[in-house]
Chains A and B, each alone.
Chain A
Amino acid sequence: MMDHSSFKIALIGNPNSGKSSLFNALTGLNQKISNYPGVTVDKKVGNLKLSSGERLTLIDFPGIYSLYPNSSDERIVVNVLTNPSDPDYPDAILYVATSQELEKHFLLAGQIRELNIPVLFCLTMTDLNEREGISYDLSVLEKYLDVPVIEVSSLKGINIDGLKYKMIELIQDSELKSFDRHYEMSGTEKEVAGHIQGLSKSNNNYQNLLIAHHYQWLSHLSEAERAKIHEQLDGHSFNSMRSQIDETLRRYNQFTPVIEKAVIRSKKDRKSLTQRIDNIIVHRIFGPIIFFAIMFLVFQAIYAWAEAPMTWIEETFALLGSWVQTSFPSGWLTDLLSDGIIAGLGGIMVFVPQIAILFLLISALEEMGYMSRAVFMFDSIMQRFGLNGRSIVALISSGACAIPAIMSTRTIANWKERLITILVTPLISCSARIPVYTVLIGFVVPSQMVWGFLNLQGLAFMGLYVISIIAALVSAWVFKIILKSEERSFLMIELPHYKQPKLRNVLLDVKEKVGTFIIEAGRVILVISIILWFLAAYGPVNEMKQAEELARVEARDQSLSPAETDDLIASAKLESSYAGHLGKFIEPVIRPLGFDWKIGIALITSFAAREVFVGTMATIYSVGSSDDEMTIREKMALQKNPFTGGPRYDVPTALSLLLFYVFAMQCMSTLAVTRRETKSWKWPMIQLGFMSVLAYVCSLIAYQWLV
């Protein structure tokens, strides 16, 4: 038996062609996400074991309409397919098309078959043909395409085995037979491709023509190669856009009659279910109302369902930490393990339930076809703020976490719109801010009912979300004015036919998103947690000792219990630690906002993740042994302001602190992801800068006005 695990099959097709469904049906859980080298587009790779015992690798590429792509995730396909030495360059292509809209798929299919890579043409969603009244003559299609054609339904699992069998044939007989080209290049195109051949790694004419079209952004070309190609093209009357249009039109002229001949539609022009649903879902008035109702339910579900698993995760990590403390010999290594690493890991994992639930719902909405309707509905409003309709997906996702939200902006073709979306996304209140809001809101708004049924604190909570959304939109608008771009903005999005979401697809998507969060945010949070642990656990040696002794004496004088003594010592040690020194160092800067050095420490530790605020407050106010938000709040309420004699957390201070947490960029992981997505340090620094200024100014105004 031959080992073909190095045999790579690429899944290529239009967006909404059922490509990912088929990929999931073929590979199941045998898939993993990685990155294409040098670019930030996720690559889905799966392994497939065939009945013959052979194994092969499947790569799911982003959906595209043509080899003349628009957005950065579409470009990746062309990048790989024009570079035979790319590690992902496929040995064969599985071209995926829905059987209901064949005319939509033949443009790309025609381009693909000219790359000198064996193609297997797969018609999906055949289970819908009968209902839609569609039939076709396979032999006509097969004859025209001159490649094997197979019909499957990934939803019903029909003929997946037949597809696998065809794949075996493809592997065993992967030698390429010659075939008629559908597209005869023009004289100029031939000349240009011929010149490129000398410079590129490919000896396929069509690949070389594609390189001539796309050399400015193809990442496998070096700057020197780019310059050479530019030089070569200069001598020709090669107009890339003209040539693209001609090629596309000629292809349409060729395959349209073939499809007309092969496809029979028995039900003509009936009003489809999708149309009837859309009459309500994207209705002028009901559409937006339904959208906000759905979003309201989504966020309700997040809070209702996530609470129990979050408590469970918190408790597990707390138990694990104390188990390490008690069962290992005490020393810095044990402390690092329990207070640095385990606490840091807990800080990452605690967000998983909320993120998983949000993406479960968003992914289901996406699968059903709803999200593209939201894009369509809100595009014009988004545009006014310099964003794109597609930004709405990022803005909603950032209600859970800005990291996957920023990654979802890859579908936005216009760079300026994408950049603005990335920059303002972290302003939307994410799940890490919730614990902070929970602790602080009680100091600003009393727990009281208005009109008999509305909880005032609940309203204030919602108000913070509204403020964050307004801040995001206003900042976007400012960036729209500041940033200059020559690139034309456009929107072209398919509104797919509604379909029932398939649980497997949704779950795999959630797994992918959560995995990305754990890996991307996780490593940053972990490293920062360790650094912060060090800063909070260590300080100038003598000072730390002295503080501990003083605290011990004080505890004895007040005859505190052993637990209370430990809390007091922890608090005293934190004060004299490096973190305490840092807090005191920044105190002059934050005093105008009503903050003292203790809050300063919390601001610093919040850089790992905002919710660390709660834990830090607990340690500072000597209730380190308790993690309960209510206990911490009670303790905070007892604190006195040494200057005024009033409560430390009076309304001006608490409001100022709340606003600071709404606006400030206290998330290293987000900065790291912004850097990755924008490929420079410039944008994360601008993001950090404008959000810090916004937070500082708003807190300053709020405090100075109220005090």
Chain B
Amino acid sequence: MERTVLDLSLGEEATIRKFKDASVACKLLTVGIVPDARITLMRKAPFGGAVCLKLGQTFIAVRNTEAKTIILEEIE
């Protein structure tokens, strides 16, 4: 099973490998969610449904449905 951003534990950082869905990728790319970028799962929304991600110095909130299309590099 490929690991996605949703599989990260809170505060864990990982490297983005690729995307599952081209139409979602189109949007994510524009804010810097790109392959090889380091991404951290910061927190989950109080009522679920969305997560807050950290990229460099920027915090970006996306829905779980989008987050699970971001596939991560396997940990060595």
Tell me the A residues contacting B by CB distance below 8 Å: 65-66, 68, 70, 100-101, 103-104, 107, 132, 241-242, 244-245, 248-249, 252, 272, 274-275, 278, 282-285, 287-288, 372, 375-381, 383, 389, 488, 490-497
| Chain A residues closer than 8 Å to B35, beta-carbon distance | 249
Give 15 pairs: A residue, B residue, CB < 8 Å, sorted on A.
A241-B22, A252-B29, A282-B45, A282-B46, A288-B47, A372-B61, A376-B61, A377-B46, A377-B47, A488-B24, A490-B65, A491-B66, A493-B60, A494-B31, A497-B59
Q: With the chains together, A241 CA to B32 CA distance in Å?
A: 17
A326 to chain B, nearest CB (A): 60
B45 to chain A, nearest CB (A): 6
Give the one of B52, B61, B62 with max A CB within 10 A: B61
Assess whether B29 is in contact with A248, with CB atoms less than 8 Å apart: yes
B11 to chain A, nearest CB (A): 10
What 1/0 flags go to B10-42 for Cβ under 8 Å of A?
A: 000000000000111111111110110000001
Q: With the chains together, A107 CA to B49 CA distance in Å?
A: 29
Are A490 and B27 CB-contacts (below 8 A) given A242-B22, A285-B46, A495-B61? yes
The residue from A68, A242, A383, A495 contacting B52, defined by CB atoms under 8 A apart? A495
Closest-by-CB residue of A relative to B22 is A241
Assess whether B26 is in contact with A492, with CB atoms less than 8 Å apart: no
| Chain B residues closer than 8 Å to A275, beta-carbon distance | 42
Assess whether A376 is in contact with B52, with CB atoms less than 8 Å apart: yes
What 1/0 flags go to B37-71 for Cβ under 8 Å of A?
A: 00000111111111010001111111101100000
Q: With the chains together, A493 CA to B59 CA distance in Å?
A: 9
Assess whether B61 is in contact with A287, with CB atoms less than 8 Å apart: no
Are A492 and B28 CB-contacts (below 8 A) given A380-B47, A380-B48? yes
Are A389 and B50 CB-contacts (below 8 A) given A68-B26, A278-B43, A494-B31? yes
Assess whether B62 is in contact with A492, with CB atoms less than 8 Å apart: yes
Top 10 closest A-B pairs, CB basis?
Answer: A380-B49, A66-B30, A65-B30, A495-B59, A376-B61, A248-B29, A284-B46, A287-B46, A380-B47, A491-B63
Assess whether B30 is in contact with A101, with CB atoms less than 8 Å apart: no
Assess whether A68 is in contact with B22, with CB atoms less than 8 Å apart: no
Assess whether B26 is in contact with A380, with CB atoms less than 8 Å apart: no
Q: 6 extra interchain contacts, Cβ-Cβ under 8 A, other than A272-B57, A495-B52?
A: A252-B32, A275-B42, A378-B47, A379-B50, A380-B50, A490-B24
| Main SS class of interface, B | mixed
Assess whether A491 is in contact with B29, with CB atoms less than 8 Å apart: no
Q: With the chains together, A66 CA to B27 CA distance in Å?
A: 9
Assess whether B47 is in contact with A381, with CB atoms less than 8 Å apart: yes
Q: With the chains together, A383 CA to B26 CA distance in Å?
A: 22
| Chain B residues closer than 8 Å to A100, beta-carbon distance | 57
Q: With the chains together, A403 CA to B76 CA distance in Å?
A: 55
B43 to chain A, nearest CB (A): 6
| Chain B residues closer than 8 Å to A244, beta-carbon distance | 26
Q: With the chains together, A301 CA to B17 CA distance in Å?
A: 50
The residue from A104, A488, A495 contacting B56, defined by CB atoms under 8 A apart? A104
Assess whether A282 is in contact with B34, with CB atoms less than 8 Å apart: no
Closest-by-CB residue of A relative to B56 is A103
Assess whether B31 is in contact with A104, with CB atoms less than 8 Å apart: yes
Assess whether A70 is in contact with B27, with CB atoms less than 8 Å apart: yes
Are A379 and B22 CB-contacts (below 8 A) given A104-B56, A495-B61? no
Q: With the chains together, A383 CA to B50 CA distance in Å?
A: 11
Q: With the chains together, A643 CA to B22 CA distance in Å?
A: 70
A72 to chain B, nearest CB (A): 15
The residue from A272, A284, A491, A496 contacting B50, defined by CB atoms under 8 A apart? A491
Q: With the chains together, A418 CA to B72 CA distance in Å?
A: 33
| Chain B residues closer than 8 Å to A249, beta-carbon distance | 29, 34-35
Assess whether B60 is in contact with A492, with CB atoms less than 8 Å apart: yes
Q: With the chains together, A70 CA to B24 CA distance in Å?
A: 11
Q: With the chains together, A244 CA to B24 CA distance in Å?
A: 12
Closest-by-CB residue of B relative to A132 is B57
The residue from B25, B34, B47, B61 contacting A493, defined by CB atoms under 8 A apart? B61
Assess whether A491 is in contact with B61, with CB atoms less than 8 Å apart: yes
Give the one of B25, B27, B42 with max A CB within 10 A: B27
Assess whether B49 is in contact with A379, with CB atoms less than 8 Å apart: yes
| Chain A residues closer than 8 Å to B44, beta-carbon distance | 284
A499 to chain B, nearest CB (A): 13
Are A495 and B26 CB-contacts (below 8 A) given A282-B46, A377-B46? no
B69 to chain A, nearest CB (A): 10
The residue from B42, B43, B61 contacting A492, defined by CB atoms under 8 A apart? B61
Q: With the chains together, A389 CA to B49 CA distance in Å?
A: 11
| Chain A residues closer than 8 Å to B48, beta-carbon distance | 380
Assess whether A490 is in contact with B29, with CB atoms less than 8 Å apart: no
A243 to chain B, nearest CB (A): 10
Q: With the chains together, A248 CA to B29 CA distance in Å?
A: 7
A414 to chain B, nearest CB (A): 11
Are A107 and B30 CB-contacts (below 8 A) given A288-B46, A375-B61, A492-B61? yes
| Chain B residues closer than 8 Å to A493, beta-carbon distance | 60-61
| Chain B residues closer than 8 Å to A488, beta-carbon distance | 23-24
| Chain B residues closer than 8 Å to A492, beta-carbon distance | 27-28, 31, 60-62, 66
The residue from B22, B28, B52, B57 contacting A101, defined by CB atoms under 8 A apart? B57
| Chain B residues closer than 8 Å to A377, beta-carbon distance | 45-47
Q: With the chains together, A278 CA to B54 CA distance in Å?
A: 13
Q: With the chains together, A66 CA to B34 CA distance in Å?
A: 14
A493 to chain B, nearest CB (A): 5
Q: With the chains together, A491 CA to B31 CA distance in Å?
A: 12
Q: With the chains together, A274 CA to B23 CA distance in Å?
A: 31
B75 to chain A, nearest CB (A): 19
A291 to chain B, nearest CB (A): 9
Closest-by-CB residue of B relative to A70 is B27
| Chain B residues closer than 8 Å to A103, beta-carbon distance | 32, 56
A238 to chain B, nearest CB (A): 15
The residue from B30, B49, B63 contacting A490, defined by CB atoms under 8 A apart? B63
| Chain A residues closer than 8 Å to B43, beta-carbon distance | 278, 282
Closest-by-CB residue of B relative to A106 is B32
| Chain B residues closer than 8 Å to A389, beta-carbon distance | 50
B27 to chain A, nearest CB (A): 6
A273 to chain B, nearest CB (A): 12
B13 to chain A, nearest CB (A): 9
B57 to chain A, nearest CB (A): 5
Assess whether B60 is in contact with A495, with CB atoms less than 8 Å apart: yes
A340 to chain B, nearest CB (A): 50
Q: With the chains together, A496 CA to B44 CA distance in Å?
A: 17
A19 to chain B, nearest CB (A): 16
The residue from A65, A70, A490, A494 contacting B59, defined by CB atoms under 8 A apart? A494
Q: With the chains together, A614 CA to B45 CA distance in Å?
A: 44
Assess whether A376 is in contact with B57, with CB atoms less than 8 Å apart: no
Closest-by-CB residue of A relative to B61 is A376
Assess whether A104 is in contact with B50, with CB atoms less than 8 Å apart: no
Closest-by-CB residue of B relative to A240 is B26
| Chain B residues closer than 8 Å to A381, beta-carbon distance | 47, 49
B67 to chain A, nearest CB (A): 10
Are A104 and B46 CB-contacts (below 8 A) given A490-B63, A492-B31? no
Closest-by-CB residue of A relative to B29 is A248
B72 to chain A, nearest CB (A): 17
